[in-house]
Structure 1
Amino acid sequence: MTSQSYTIRNADPNEFEALGQLMVQVYSQLEGFPKPDEQPAYYQMFSNIGEFTQNPGVEILVAVSQKGTINGGVVFFRDLQYYGSGGTATQEKNAAGFRLLAVSPESQGLGIGKALTLACIQRAKDHQLSQVIIHSTKAMQTAWQMYERLGFRRSEDLDFMQGELPVYGFRLHLPA
């Protein structure tokens, strides 16, 4: 698949279940990341991914192939009060965020994660917000590198523990 053979768009509600299954598959295979039996509530969140859209300003974005296959997705939050993470991120003002970025194993390395990230950054700019907040774990080091190339910087004030798992905050300041 070439990088031009997918489209980034808002997910249709009838795609939420397939995206949730993709997210479970991706996250459960990450080395060093808790498995479904270790953090069942976290994986239940993937299965019910569409519930995020019941909050204002929350969008689920998907990367869809020309054949209609979901190759990846992410949840964008225009208002961090709905972000749902630990730590202090939900108290940040004038900030957007995104969570739960996942790209199917067969589609990794094609720029889909970057395209989904850039779509979230653009939405934050469109809403004239001053920053984008995200979180990651050591199991997602590949994504860290991409985020840093896009201008995100580690922000230790956003770090928190999710059970036994350290979760690391990143911040991207947007030009005014």
Structure 2
Amino acid sequence: MKQINIREAQPNEYKALGQLMLRVFSSLEGFPSRAEHPTYYALLDNVGKLNEKVSTEILVARSTDNELLGGVVFVGNMQDYSSKGVTTTIQNASGIRLLVVSLAARGQGVGKALTEACLQRARGLGSQQMILHTTQAMKVAWGMYERMGFARLPSLDFRQGDLMVYGFYLDL
């Protein structure tokens, strides 16, 4: 198992992280294609733009030999979360978006380490909850979130075209 170093992404890493997100997410069974959700794919192509929001921080996980293992977008204030539904109105909460782990690094604790880094940041801000969304295609992540104590919150669910997106929360 490789050692995992998590830190804030540098602007010169945004492109590689976006490409990793595109590769991993588009390979998931049942995940919509670029033609079905061009806006979502454009978001992944330009993931670095999310860092322009005041309370967001893009984190990367790298091995000691500098291999990109994964990444995530931490949102310290839900007003900057940018999703459909009521999510952006939640007070005293932080969010996790676009968690990705490279296919080669699966099962090595990268996703959990990235999630823990976000939880640590949220607690540091005094957030009372952590919010995230996932889909049926992201079954591996879904299970990890539940093992970490996240619970479904159907009031945060929304539909993105034909894709059902499911809300989760964790009290901090």
- Same-fold status (TM-score > 0.5): yes
Identity of matched residues, %: 51
The more displaced of 10-19 and 61-70 is 61-70
Task: State the SS of the aligned residue for 1:33.
Answer: coil
Offset at 1:6?
2.2
Unaligned runs of 5+ in 2: none
Q: Aligned residue for 1:168?
A: 166
Q: Distance in 1 between matches of 2:162 and 2:99?
A: 21
Offset at 1:93?
0.5
Offset at 1:35?
1.2
Offset at 1:38?
1.4
Q: Aligned residue for 1:57?
A: 55
Amino acid at match of 2:126: Q
Q: Aligned residue for 2:11?
A: 13
Flag as ranges the 4+ runs of structure 1 deviating above 3 A: none
Q: Distance in 2 between matches of 1:6 and 1:145?
A: 21
* Residues 13-60 of structure 1, C-alpha deviations (whole Å, 9 max, x = no match): 100000000000001001011011211110110111110111111000
Structure 2 residue 158 is the aligned partner of structure 1 residue 151: no
TM-score, with length taken from structure 1: 0.95
Q: Alpha carbon RMSD of aligned pairs, Å?
A: 0.8
Q: Aligned residue for 1:113?
A: 111
Q: Distance in 2 between matches of 1:96 and 1:118?
A: 13
Unaligned runs of 5+ in 1: none
Amino acid at match of 1:27: F
Q: Aligned residue for 2:126?
A: 128
Q: Distance in 1 between matches of 2:126 and 2:147?
A: 22
Q: Distance in 2 between matches of 1:86 and 1:164?
A: 14
Amino acid at match of 1:8: I
* Residues 56-82 of structure 1, C-alpha deviations (whole Å, 9 max, x = no match): 110001001112121100000001111
Amino acid at match of 1:14: N
Q: How many residue pairs are counted as aligned between the two chains? A: 172
Q: Aligned residue for 1:96?
A: 94
